[in-house]
Structure 1
Amino acid sequence: MILDLFRLNNRLLSAGDRLVAEVGLTSARWQILGTIAAGDRPQPVAWLARDIGAHRQNVQRIVNELEAEGLVSFEPNPHHRRAALVVLTDKGMQAFEDAMHLQIPWVNNLAEELQVRHVETTHKVITEVLRKLEGDDE
């Protein structure tokens, strides 16, 4: 199962890269923009990295690229001088929304012929394994 999940992850990243290339994104950039968009408040890079289970340095590099392209900006963090908060710009929100619009037919195609109960069971298993792995990180 683990090897299949690795393969699935790689295929999802490759397919995602192809899907969002036309809006100037990669799967990694799309994931970070989505994490920022889903947040209920701006977060520093370290928190974004924690939320997606990635190394802070990798997320910092991508966030710096997104900032250089005007997709995100940094705001002062009232709780930590050196850990600026990452905020989507209007351009960044538009890029994220464009990517999400592209993914709707893609996801619908992937979901064709899948039974809802199987998707729900798979989600429960993945969530439980992820919870256990996150517990190992502490």
Structure 2
Amino acid sequence: MTEQELFSTAAITSFALNGRFLAVAEKLAAPAGLTAAWWQVLGAVLPEPLPVAGIARAMGITRQSVQRIADLLVGKGLAEYRENPAHRRAKLVAVTDEGLAAVRRISPQHAQVAHRLAAELGAERFAEIVAALTELAATMDRLELDS
């Protein structure tokens, strides 16, 4: 394969994989009363509260879509806005106890999917694939190919 064919195949495969991950995420999130997008935003702030722009950067989605979802999550009591000591106007989004409980309800089914993938691929091969995807994403970020 030429470099251009490799790039095209990587992109098309990534788009298809993203669609599959989103479909699985919707199925996993629904019983917890979440959507995949809500779960994605809550997941971004589980380790620590972040501003909307920080969530957007981490998730690779637009700031506007994160803002819309954050407002919905706050309205439903799954997240809250907190003061940001680093920036007066850019509030931090933080998960609430109710939001954390919703995310935790996903965990058993999430573990089952992870186990099935690891069983199919083998744990070592699965780790290699994740490492390769992580390296590809970091390289794309470093090269700033989208600017």
Secondary structure at 2:133's aligned position in 1?
A: helix
Aligned to 1:72: 79
Q: Normalization by structure 1: what TM-score?
A: 0.90
Aligned equivalent of 2:26, options 17, 26, 39: 17
Aligned to 1:119: 126
Contact 1:77 1:83 in 2 (8 A): yes
Identity rate, percent:
36
Tell me which moved more, 105-114 or 53-62: 105-114
Q: Which amino acid aligns with 2:74?
A: E
Aligned equivalent of 2:61, options 45, 49, 54: 54
Aligned to 2:41: 32
Contact 2:117 2:126 in 1 (8 A): no
Deviating runs (4+, > 2 A) in structure 1?
A: none
Cα deviations by residue, 1:99-129 (Å, 9 ceiling, x for unpaired): 2233111221232231223222212211111
Aligned length: 136
Aligned to 2:107: 100
Cα deviations by residue, 1:74-98 (Å, 9 ceiling, x for unpaired): 0111221210011111101101111
Aligned to 1:134: 141
Q: Which amino acid aligns with 1:115?
A: G
Structure 2 residues not aligned, in runs of 5+: 1-9
Secondary structure at 2:81's aligned position in 1?
A: strand
In the alignment, does 2:13 pair up with 1:4?
A: yes
Structure 1 residues not aligned, in runs of 5+: none
Q: Normalization by structure 2: what TM-score?
A: 0.85
Distance 1:107 1:66 in 2: 26
Tell me which moved more, 108-117 or 120-129: 108-117
Aligned equivalent of 1:45, options 25, 49, 52: 52
Secondary structure at 1:120's aligned position in 2?
A: helix
